[in-house]
A and B are shown apart, each in its own frame.
Chain A
Amino acid sequence: MVRDVKRRVALIGLAAGAGVLATGSSVLAQAGRYKEAASVTELVRAGKLPAIEARLPENPLVVPVVERVGEYGGIWRRAFLGPADSNNYIRVVYDSLFRFSPDGAKIEPKIAAGAESSADYKVWTINLRKGSRWSDGAPFTADDILFWYTDVLLNKELTPTLPGWIRNADGSAAKVEKASETAVRFTYLAPATLFLTAVANQDGADRTFAMFLPAHYLKKFHPAHAAKADIDKVAAAAGFKTWTELFANRNAPPENPERPTMAAWAPISRASDPIFTLRRNPYYVGVDTAGNQLPYIDEVRFTFFADVQALNLAAIAGNFDMQERHINMTNYPVLKDQEKTGKYRIITWPTFGGADAVIAINQTYAADPVMGKVMATKDFRVALSFAINRDQIKESVFLGLGEARQGVPAPWHPYFPGAEWAQKYTEFKRDEANKLLDGIGLTKKDAQGFRLLSNGKPATIEISVVPAFGAWPDVALLVGKDWEAVGIKTIVQIRERALHFKMGENNELMAEVWNEDTSAFPYTGNAKVDPRNAPILTMGPLWRRWYATSGKDGVEPPPEMKRIVEIVDKARTVGPEEQIKLSQELYRNWADNVYEIGTIGLTPMVQGVVVAAAKFRNVPTTLGNDWPLRSPGNARTEQFFFSK
């Protein structure tokens, strides 16, 4: 049932991360208790692989199954849009030390065995699984994290600026030391309560370096460990200008199948090939509850599609075993209709809070100072929010799914500020909107009925929209009509995405349509409530400059926005209860000031329509669906299987 999106999820200390996390059970670690795929057994017999006990760590990761213990074999057919879509791979394998649970409520150990923190959250120790191995059989130890720290993170050429999660307030890097062969200690100057949330996303996504790297393989491409002249020769032969390019390329599994990984499947071809293939990693640390080594599925094959429509047609034809990425929600009726052929079933994973289309209003728009000032007026934004007929948007664009809401977390999330805030200003009240607009002095109108600004020009807003998730131009068109009905002239500009982003960077956009995801993670990653990140949302580019230049340049944010930033900084260093309190305050503030005007949320629009073959099992029917959760990675893809 699609409408049944509200799951009751028991959330425990999501933000702070429990001080100590359970380490994998070692009950199964007796000889003969583990089983493996027949194809792997053959390789063992042929002497090409060591026995299973030697491949698994002492305390393997025990992965609970969704429906039942699975069967080995099969090729998981998927689709992707080429190398720029390598996050498709990233999300499927979710190759990280810790990962989010399926409901997104917990952070659980994956490659690592667990972690513990000091009472003041300043010192964190990550414990690795003793005896765990890379996909080429080499041991995975603390040195692999230390290599990342010393030779990659602290290498100015590879990492010109430190990522926020490892940076102290004074700009220095947190200290990372080897506590033992299988333990690494992180020491921060201030409490780091969100340490694990950050670690759960250090998986090498977006052309970054994961926080654990195969040192034994990568050292030969690093001048600290190999002769620079040799590396340069290899780089030149491969067409790279510098050793850093070579290193980045050798480190990226989708670009280099030789690079060992810790994931359940490792690439055997490249993302630039017509089919990007991953094959079972016989050293994967996970087993199911019956002691079968995971993954069940032999291979994952991503077929290249140049066009999303062709991809959707192939999905409707049943050419994929499980695919949620790039499936357009507008095709839901067709998919659901074809479901009766029995080839596949359709599952929906609504987004993890926020709103699936918001209109961000630029608060620091400078090209037209008069209009810019109006846009920075709260009553103006509230009026625009009241003017929107969200019911029409819901019916036209979201197939009647979801609910009218602002971009705040979902009701089941501890940061949820309460229903009255989620629905703040979302009622369709045209009279109220007109009253508010009159109230801020936009009383005079021109012949066409548009309100005039103090300089005599009609109040005009341009909504820039990128057809990224298909339906946004429609949202913009509908919103534009509603705004014109209250006397605000609205121009909808559908733009090519790169142009749109360039304009956003240059503070040239007045308003844009995007989605407000990541609302459950305001403190890590690139949360959109924090104007200092905002490379994506156009809320206040000059606020960002103000923060980046420590107030020398740009525009000083209003007190409400400063409070949000203050909360973001503070919440990173406080305990769980305090954090929840601060977060709720943050989102009350956020909803009340409507920097972004929410429309409809909690729909499966963003990668939430899942086409799963009838035989493809163990796919959860509910899942926290968001980028920081790496969905479908948090569905524990290694336990997906084909039933015979």
Chain B
Amino acid sequence: MSGTSSAAEDRVAIASNWRLVWWRFRRHRLAMISAGLLIFMYMIVLAPDFFSVQDPERTDARQAFIPVQMIHFFDDGSLSPWVPTITGKRHPVTLRMEWVADPARKVGVRFFARGYSYRVLGVFETNVHLIAPADPTQRIFLLGSDRLGRDQWSRIMHGTQTSMTVGLVAVALSVILGVVLGGLSGYVGGKTDQVIQRIIELLQSVPTIPIWLALSAALPRDWTPIQVFFAITVILSLVGWTTLGREVRGRFLALREEDFVLAARLAGCSRMRIILRHMVPTFASHIIATSSLAIPVMIINETSLSFLGLGIRPPAISWGVLLQEAQNIQTLALAPWLLTPGLVVIVAVLAFNLVGDGLRDAADPYSN
């Protein structure tokens, strides 16, 4: 046995459970990449305007359905990013907007340049953007424009903010509900268990759609789309806690016979304290892994419901709203770049799943 390995063993021996999880997680390369990606996406959530090229709500009838404009990084051999100028006109017969790129006329693109001003987290005002046209009066469309001439790139950035937040908040709420109710059910047992189990079954048996319809009608009408969106998040979690609740219950059923729980009970701890301080920590890592797997489900739910026109509605922007606006033949046939939010959904969900799997493996003490 060499000195270093025994030092490592010592390190392991004294490391906290969380540290062990982290070490194991770190070894999971895909999960690490995904985690990095998610951190980047949550940076977008914090300041979508910084990542936007222009105001996502800015319309211009004369700039509808502009295709993707690729950034060219070199101009005459020197590093000077640009996109070609485009000119468009309506086809006289099909009435379709048709765009021609003119590479001879260039629109300069700059990084960390000035654009429209915005507030970061509602605190301070700035007008610096990650990417912006060198001439602020010009417009560039890195992912094309939609039917009203809005910039798809910037809209995706703002959609990211909404959809990622919905996922996170809804899961956070469901975790709280799931742990408390599932814990009660598993720990107390008897009638409480029966009632909670039947409530779970009821919630799982009623498809989300009617709850949605009822909800969208029951919300106060003077609510802004933002308020509606938070209400919808809450409802998502009201329905979504059941799976976790069942799992937690199962854990509790197994744990409540354990000695340490008995010891705590004999020491006179309250029920809530036993649940929250003694039992929950033993499977907290499992809960986190499950939650990170639940976030993508929430995101898909959000997109599905917005897609049906029952979730978040314009002028609020979410991935679902963007997809819903792209759900027509005109888009599929003539403006396929408007489907990019779908790709973003896939990437985000993929990342969450990979991180979730990585966490689950890492949290499992029996995995090697």
Contacts and interface: CB of A to CB of B under 8 A. Distances in A.
A334 B330 contact: yes
Contacts, number: 88
A487 B147 CA distance: 26
A309 B61 contact: no
B94 A336 contact: yes
A328 B328 contact: yes
B213 A2 contact: no
A494 B314 contact: yes
B244 to A, nearest CB: 30
Contacts of A316: 329, 333
B171 to A, nearest CB: 27
B125 to A, nearest CB: 13
Contact of B221 (A474, A477, A492, A493): A493
A2 B90 CA distance: 13
Interface string A10-46: 0000000000000000000000000000000000000
Contacts of B96: 333, 336-337
Contact of B329 (A313, A394, A467): A313
B5 interface: no
B343 to A, nearest CB: 20
A164 interface: no
Interface string A468-503: 001001100110110000000001111010010001
Contacts of A480: 315
A333 B221 CA distance: 37
B309 interface: yes
A161 interface: no
Interface string B324-343: 00011110011000000000
A391 B309 contact: no
A470 B224 CA distance: 22
A467 B310 CA distance: 12
B328 A331 contact: yes
B327 A309 contact: yes
A395 B310 contact: no
Interface string A430-455: 00000000000000000000000000
Contact of A333 (B57, B327, B334): B334
B59 A481 contact: yes
B325 to A, nearest CB: 9
Contact of B314 (A330, A332, A473): A473
Contacts of B330: 328, 330-331, 333-334
A293 interface: no
B159 to A, nearest CB: 16
A334 B329 contact: yes
A336 B62 contact: no
Interface string A497-533: 0010001000010000000000000000000000000
Interface stretch (A134-142, A221-229, A396-404): A396-404
Nearest to B223: A493
A548 B13 CA distance: 85
Contacts of A481: 57, 59
Nearest to B331: A330
Nearest to A492: B315
Contacts of A494: 309, 313-314
Interface string B127-153: 000000000000000000001110000
A467 B94 contact: no
A180 interface: no
B243 interface: no
Contacts of B334: 333-334
Contact of B94 (A313, A330, A333, A493): A333
B59 A396 contact: yes
B148 A336 contact: no
A499 B329 contact: no
* Residue from B64, B315, B329 whose CB has the most chain A CB atoms within 10 Å: B329
B148 A331 contact: no
A261 interface: no
Contacts of B61: 391-396
Interface string B50-80: 0000000101111010000000000000000
A396 B221 contact: no
Contacts of A116: none
A332 B333 CA distance: 12
B285 interface: no
A503 B218 CA distance: 12
Interface in B206-225: 213, 216-217, 221-222, 224
A63 B147 CA distance: 44
A569 B250 CA distance: 74
B191 interface: no
Contacts of B90: 399-400
Contacts of A330: 147, 328, 330
Interface in A348-404: 391-396, 399-401
A396 B94 contact: no
Interface string B67-108: 000000000000000000000001101111000000000000
A395 B329 contact: no
- For chain A, the bracket of interface size reads 35 or more
A312 interface: yes
A499 B148 contact: no
Contacts of A496: 213, 216-217, 309-310
B309 A396 contact: no
Given A493-B221, A496-B217, A399 B309 contact: no
A337 B94 contact: yes
B305 to A, nearest CB: 12
Contacts of A177: none
A59 to B, nearest CB: 46
Given A334-B333, A400-B90, A499 B95 contact: no
Contacts of A331: 328-330
Contacts of B333: 316, 334, 337
A376 B334 CA distance: 44
A462 interface: yes
Given A313-B329, A336-B94, A492-B314, A396 B217 contact: no
A469 to B, nearest CB: 13
A401 B61 CA distance: 13
Contact of B147 (A336, A401, A474): A474
B304 to A, nearest CB: 14
Interface string A331-343: 1111011000000
Nearest to B150: A477
A487 B121 CA distance: 25
A179 B149 CA distance: 65
A308 to B, nearest CB: 9
A328 B330 CA distance: 10
Contacts of A478: 59, 148
B328 A332 contact: no
A492 B57 CA distance: 13
Given A462-B222, A473-B314, A494-B313, A400 B95 contact: yes
Given A392-B59, A499-B216, A474 B329 contact: no
Contact of A499 (B64, B91, B217, B327): B217
A468 to B, nearest CB: 12
Contact of A491 (B59, B91, B224): B224
B326 to A, nearest CB: 11
B91 A333 contact: yes
A309 B328 contact: yes
Nearest to A332: B95
Contacts of A477: 59, 148, 314-315
A309 B213 CA distance: 21
16 contacts: A328-B328, A330-B328, A330-B330, A332-B95, A336-B94, A337-B94, A337-B96, A392-B60, A396-B149, A399-B95, A467-B309, A474-B147, A480-B315, A492-B314, A493-B313, A508-B221
Given A312-B328, A477-B148, 14 more contacts: A309-B328, A312-B329, A331-B330, A333-B334, A392-B61, A393-B61, A396-B148, A399-B95, A400-B95, A467-B309, A473-B314, A478-B148, A493-B221, A493-B313
> Which 6 residue pairs across A and B have the least CB separation, nearest first?
A395-B61, A333-B96, A392-B61, A336-B94, A396-B61, A399-B95
